[in-house]
Amino acid sequence: MVISTQFHDDLLAAIPSLRAFGLSLTARGDRADDLVQETLMKAWKYHGSFTAGTNMKAWLYTILRNEFYTQLRKRKREVEDADGVYSNKVAVHAEQDGHLDMADFTIALAKLPEDQREAIVLVGASGFSYEEAAEICGCAVGTIKSRVNRARNRLTELLQIEAPTVASLSAQTTLARRA
């Protein structure tokens, strides 16, 4: 089989964002990179099923996502992770993998149900439209929208982000008027 240089180059270009998506799903660098590896191999193997000119990024994200759920199901069969154990592991890995200030966000993200997590990441960070995210996750656009909203509310809660107080808002308004 002959695979075009273009396909190779496109795969290469997609690696950085695939790694980021993988990390958002797994919250662990080692597992994220294993997912990316598997994705690249599958993409290469099934390159014939990719239609040139269509959204390759979305195609690759779909492969990575499928791989993630396959592994998740396997792992769940192997070990029933007691509540909290997963979060603790994530916390340790988050501190090893990244900056400390990044760790609390990673932990908060890991506490979301998978469906909400992938929705907010696809739409909020990967640059996909709601329609594309729905395509990748195999669900309705409305479902993606409501998952994104729930994810955002939950993250706000977990990170205890305070809404701006009336006082600080009016101070800002005053400054803005003076400027």
Partner 1 sequence: MADKTTNGSSLKMKLKKVKMPPAKSKPDVSDLIGERLRNFYDDVAKQPIPDRFLDLLSQLQAASTPNKKT
- Residue 36 burial (CB count, 10 A): 23
The nearer residue to partner 1, 13 or 76, going by C-beta atoms, is: 13
The nearer residue to partner 1, 79 or 163, going by C-beta atoms, is: 163
**Cβ atoms of residues 35 and 67 within 8 Å:** yes
Give the three-class secondary structure for 71.
Answer: helix
To partner 1, the closest distance from the beta carbon of 141 in angstroms equals: 8
The nearer residue to partner 1, 76 or 140, going by C-beta atoms, is: 140
CA angle at residue 41 from 56 to 113, to 5 degrees? 70
To partner 1, the closest distance from the beta carbon of 44 in angstroms equals: 5
The nearer residue to partner 1, 80 or 101, going by C-beta atoms, is: 101
To partner 1, the closest distance from the beta carbon of 84 in angstroms equals: 22
The nearer residue to partner 1, 96 or 129, going by C-beta atoms, is: 129
To partner 1, the closest distance from the beta carbon of 133 in angstroms equals: 8
To partner 1, the closest distance from the beta carbon of 163 in angstroms equals: 10
Residues that bind partner 1 (CB under 8 A): 1-3, 8, 11-12, 15-17, 19-21, 23-24, 32-33, 36-37, 40-41, 44, 98-99, 102, 105-106, 109, 120-121, 123-126, 129-132, 148, 152, 155-156, 159, 161
128-29-11-109 Cα dihedral, nearest 10 degrees: -10
Place of tokens 């009336």: 166
C-alpha–C-alpha distance, residues 117 and 110, integer Å: 8
C-alpha–C-alpha distance, residues 24 and 118, integer Å: 8
C-alpha–C-alpha distance, residues 39 and 151, integer Å: 26
